[in-house]
């Protein structure tokens, strides 16, 4: 029999709570996550990290489910990574001291946990990531053993479930991807099984898909089971399903009736970046995701991420974050505010240096402030005028400037 999983669950509450609220517009439900993990194994440890003095409404729900709450108090200079460091240390200590725990589940969308994921895998622990597809780093999604989307856990939870210290909010309608968008990954999985001389049975095909992409979930394509998912592809003529010795075997069809080619997520990123490059002044102050979506819709009416194989605009922004085109900061009021990323800044406006030089020659102040925030100061072009060159140090210049001597004095 397959070894039973014994889970240690670690919750980065501030991260996942803001992510769920800003992308799904509902409170975080810890019960649906724990119930979903119980279907995979036994939970032996549950720890959550956050500033609970600000989250008194949810502490009762965590207490009812036996979750240990570790208090994180912010310091005057901030405590951005305090919970991350504490979580990582506790997880590694548990991995060293508790050999019977063979699976670790991290509830967070922060790519900073990638080092912890790799270290746990090196110690032969199975690593699961739970988070929303729209805010969990794709780096985390693709490098754990299995990514479990919070949306799937929340939507499949019993209606009587209560979470976040109050009644569950109404389900948010999930975007459904066309099944044909899954064909490139399925063809890759079938090719992998062919190389291994393995019979592509339906169960083996799914496990191979999850090895290639831990974030794969047939529910993203509107199918409640993997068999339904394969049957839909067979109905479209993209796959052939045969019953061989009591097992369903899946085969690819070269003469598929519907091509799987079409716009990809890379094409959607190109559209997004094109719009962002025209609105860099807004990115300087940081804008919420809904305003970014409004800009894209205004520039390209009818833009639909579904056509590009992306489940929603928030997921597209999440992909742009991982690619370095934008950065994001959590905001309790608006969710996430997005700023210009290094990749976008580096390739957006090569003429910016000429514009700065022209401004200096005309005697105008050396703008814009956005470039000085992102580029090293040493890289900026020095003005020819010596007085202008001192402007970046105007706070010190008056102290170093010698007093004017009387006319005729030596």
Residues 6+ apart with CB under 8 A from 46: 9, 11, 34, 65, 66, 67, 68
Give the phi and the psi of residue 233 in degrees, each rounded to 5: -70, -35
Is 189 found in the same domain as 63?
Answer: no
Look at residues 252, 251, 301, 250 and name the one whose alpha carbon lies nearest to residue 275: 301
Please give the residue range of the domain that contains residue 334: 265-347
Residue 380, in any domain of the structure: no
C-alpha to C-alpha distance for 216 and 183, rounded to whole angstroms: 12
CATH code: domain of residue 312: 1.10.10.10
Is 154 found in the same domain as 70?
Answer: yes
What is the per-residue pLDDT for 378? 41
Residue 324, in any domain of the structure: yes
What is the per-residue pLDDT for 7? 96
Is 186 found in the same domain as 147?
Answer: no
Residue 393, in any domain of the structure: no
Residue finishing a domain among 124, 146, 167: 167
- Count other Cβ atoms within 10 Å, centred on residue 124: 9
Domain count of the fold of the chain? 3
Is 215 found in the same domain as 238?
Answer: yes
Is 99 found in the same domain as 11?
Answer: yes
Is 143 found in the same domain as 9?
Answer: yes
Residue 31, in any domain of the structure: yes
The encoded tokens of residue 298 equal: 């205004």
CATH code: domain of residue 71: 3.40.50.1010
Residues 6+ apart with CB under 8 A from 400: none
CATH code: domain of residue 242: 3.30.420
What is the per-residue pLDDT for 245? 83
Residue 50, in any domain of the structure: yes
What is the per-residue pLDDT for 410? 45
Q: How far is CA 370 from the centre of its chain?
A: 25
Residue finishing a domain among 347, 371, 391: 347
Residue 354, in any domain of the structure: no
What is the per-residue pLDDT for 359? 41
First CA to last CA across the chain, in angstroms? 97
C-alpha to C-alpha distance for 5 and 11, rounded to whole angstroms: 18
Ranges of the chain with pLDDT below 50? 1, 160-170, 257, 259, 348-400, 402, 406, 409-410
The encoded tokens of residue 177 equal: 């991807």
Is 248 found in the same domain as 107?
Answer: no
What is the per-residue pLDDT for 398? 47
Is 156 found in the same domain as 217?
Answer: no
C-alpha to C-alpha distance for 145 and 186, rounded to whole angstroms: 18
Residues 6+ apart with CB under 8 A from 374: 340, 342, 345
Residue finishing a domain among 98, 133, 167: 167
Q: What angle do CA 48, 54, 59 make, to 5 degrees?
A: 45
Is 273 found in the same domain as 247?
Answer: no
Look at residues 160, 163, 150, 169 and name the one whose alpha carbon lies nearest to residue 109: 150
Is 319 found in the same domain as 297?
Answer: yes
Residues 6+ apart with CB under 8 A from 330: 14, 15, 18, 336
Residue 353, in any domain of the structure: no
Is 151 found in the same domain as 85?
Answer: yes
Is 203 found in the same domain as 99?
Answer: no
Residue 19, in any domain of the structure: yes
């Amino acid at each position: 029999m397959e070894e039973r999983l014994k889970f240690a669950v670690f919750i980065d509450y501030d991260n996942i709570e803001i992510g769920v609220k800003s992308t799904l517009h509902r409170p975080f439900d810890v019960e649906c996550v724990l119930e979903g993990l119980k279907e995979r194994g036994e939970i032996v440890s549950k720890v959550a990290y956050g500033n609970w003095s600000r989250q008194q409404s949810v502490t009762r729900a965590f207490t009812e489910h036996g979750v240990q709450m570790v208090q994180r108090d912010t310091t005057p200079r901030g405590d951005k990574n305090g919970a991350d460091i504490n979580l990582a240390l506790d997880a590694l200590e548990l991995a060293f001291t508790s050999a019977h725990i063979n699976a670790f589940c991290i509830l967070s969308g922060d790519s900073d946990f990638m080092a912890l994921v790799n270290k746990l895998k090196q110690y032969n622990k199975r690593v699961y990531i739970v988070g929303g597809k729209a805010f969990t780093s794709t780096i985390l999604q693709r490098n754990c053993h299995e990514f479990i989307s919070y949306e799937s856990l929340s939507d499949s939870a019993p209606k009587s479930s209560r979470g976040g210290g109050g009644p569950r909010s109404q389900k948010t309608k999930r975007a459904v991807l066309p099944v044909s968008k899954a064909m490139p990954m399925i063809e890759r999985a079938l090719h992998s099984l062919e190389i291994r001389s393995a019979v592509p049975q339906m169960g083996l095909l799914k496990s191979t898909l999850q090895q290639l992409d831990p974030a794969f979930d047939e529910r993203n394509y509107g199918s409640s089971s993997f068999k339904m998912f394969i049957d839909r592809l067979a109905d479209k003529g993209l796959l052939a399903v045969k019953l061989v010795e009591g097992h369903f075997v899946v085969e690819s069809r070269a003469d598929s009736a519907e091509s799987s080619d079409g716009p990809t997520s890379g094409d959607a990123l190109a559209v997004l970046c094109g719009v962002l490059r025209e609105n860099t002044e807004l990115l300087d102050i940081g804008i919420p995701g809904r305003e970014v979506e409004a800009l894209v819709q205004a520039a390209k009416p009818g833009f639909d991420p579904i056509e590009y194989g992306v489940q929603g605009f928030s997921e597209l922004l999440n992909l742009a974050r991982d690619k370095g085109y934008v950065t994001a900061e959590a905001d309790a009021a608006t969710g996430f505010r997005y700023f210009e990323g290094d990749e976008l800044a580096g390739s957006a406006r090569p003429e910016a240096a000429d514009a700065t030089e022209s401004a200096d020659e005309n005697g105008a102040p050396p703008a814009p402030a956005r470039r000085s925030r992102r580029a090293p100061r040493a890289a900026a072009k020095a003005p020819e005028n010596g007085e202008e060159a001192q402007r970046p140090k105007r706070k010190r210049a008056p102290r170093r400037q010698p007093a004017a001597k009387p006319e005729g004095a030596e």
